Structure 1
Amino acid sequence: MPSRDNIVTFHDIPTPVGEQPYVPGAGPSPVVTVVDPDPDWPLQYAELAARVRDALGWRVLELQHIGSTSVPGLAAKPIIDMDLVVADADDEAAYVPALEAAGFELRVREPWWFGHRVLRHTDPACGLHVFGPDAPEPIKHRIFRDWLRGNPGERDLYARAKRAAAAASTSAGEHSMQYNARKEQVVREICRRAFTAAGLLDGSS
């Protein structure tokens, strides 16, 4: 279980010298498209979650729909983001082959950032983020999601930030990681308010 400090800290861990997060042949998406909310997104998550659970069985310690497609009424990139917690994210042999057989493809390997891996599924489009039990990110993602679900003003603030970032990145010919950087300040401001409401921060941080 991650500590309180780990949950509320934004861990900007640089890529180690000589390493790179993308597996050979992979890279950030060159297309940044934010669309109106789609009522089918929860159904797509349910389909993808069933595939993951069928593939891994009891090795799924936690599986959550996270990201903008998990918030009703929120504009988003049309990609279902999911957090998967397994016993050891660095033990790829324990879960990657089974997920590949279910139609997922390993795209990102970041053992220096809480063991993070990302697998992609194309239909429905999905980014499956894999972490170990001690990673704070799944908890952080869940708090952010639930805060947006319960606070329409924050949801709308985030939607405006997303659309502005997407327009700026598209105009500049940037990729998805640069889009993420453009909206990062707003994400962190919203997270701090959510952490405070949850009692993880005292409001003066």
Structure 2
Amino acid sequence: MTDMIVVNYDPRWPERFEDLRQRLAPHVADLAVSIEHVGSTAVPGCAAKPIIDLDIVVSEEAVMPELISRLAGRGYRHEGDLGIGGREAFQGPPAVPGHHLYAVVAGSKPHLDHVLLRDYLRQRPDEVQRYSALKVALAQRFPADSEGRAAYSAAKSAQVEELVAKSYAARAAGAL
């Protein structure tokens, strides 16, 4: 059994994000409000699976079909919302470094969940340390297959939900 890979923060992750952003931007710039680096690789000091998460943020749901079409033309495979309404997921082309690409509407719950959690963690090294420790422990417990990845995600969901709730509370208090 091969363990899931969770590694210490790599300071090259922002550069990898920027490379991916530059590959995507020319094809979606007129549709996108922004392309955001989200997920654990966007948080300095956070342990993570070494896969960059990106959100293409659009202004309204109406542009989503065109975005999906353009990404398909660049070799991306649309995977639907993967159980999270308001977020569209894509599998990248084989020739592009591994990443998770999502499309979200600006200000939607999936968009805010991603950016508020990222920004909250960026300001709280103690929470980053706690979250990293959980991820490292879980990665050693579960195999790197689809069942193992699902179990890993489920096992960390309570802490993720807690952190997301704290990020919304910090935003409401004006701390984000």
Matched, 1:116 2:123: no
Report the Cα offset of residue 89 of structure 1: 6.7
Residue-by-residue CA offset, 1:5-57 (whole Å, 9 max, x unaligned): xxxxxxxxxxxxxxxxxxxxxxxxx9731112111110111011112211112
SS in 1 for 2:140: helix
Describe the superposition over 1:110-130 as per-residue Cα deviations: whole angstroms up to 9, x where unpaired.
397434221122532111111
The answer (yes or no) to whether the contact 2:5–2:144 under 8 Å persists in 1 is no
Distance 1:41 1:112, change over 3 A: closer
More helix by share: 2
Match of 1:174 among 133, 147, 159: 147
TM-score by length of 1: 0.72
Of 56, 59, 64, which residue of structure 1 is paired with 2:31?
59
- C-alpha change, 1:124 and 1:173, in structure 2 (3 Å) is closer
SS of alignment partner, residue 175 of structure 1: helix
Which residue of 35, 38, 42 corresponds with 1:70? Answer: 42
Query: Are 2:136 and 1:145 aligned?
Result: no
Structural mapping, 1:1-205, within 5 Å: 32-86=4-58, 87-88=60-61, 91-92=64-65, 94-106=66-78, 108-110=79-81, 113-121=84-92, 122=94, 123-133=96-106, 135-170=108-143, 174-199=147-172
In the alignment, the residues of structure 2 paired with residue 91 and residue 111 of structure 1 have an alpha-carbon distance, to the nearest angstrom, of: 16
Supply the RMSD in Å over aligned alpha carbons: 2.7
Query: Residue 51 and residue 144 in structure 1: after superposition, are their counterparts in 2 closer, same or farther (change >3 A)?
Result: same
Other-structure match for 1:14: none
Change in 2 beyond 3 A, CA 1:89/1:158: farther
Q: What SS is found at the alignment partner of 2:45?
A: coil
Cα distance in 1 for partners of 2:56, 2:146 equals 31
Letter in 2 for 1:49: R
Deviations 1:113-152 (A, max 9, x none): 4342211225321111112345211112111111111111
Cα gap change, 1:182 to 1:70, in 2 (>3 Å): same
Residue identity over aligned pairs, in percent, reads 29
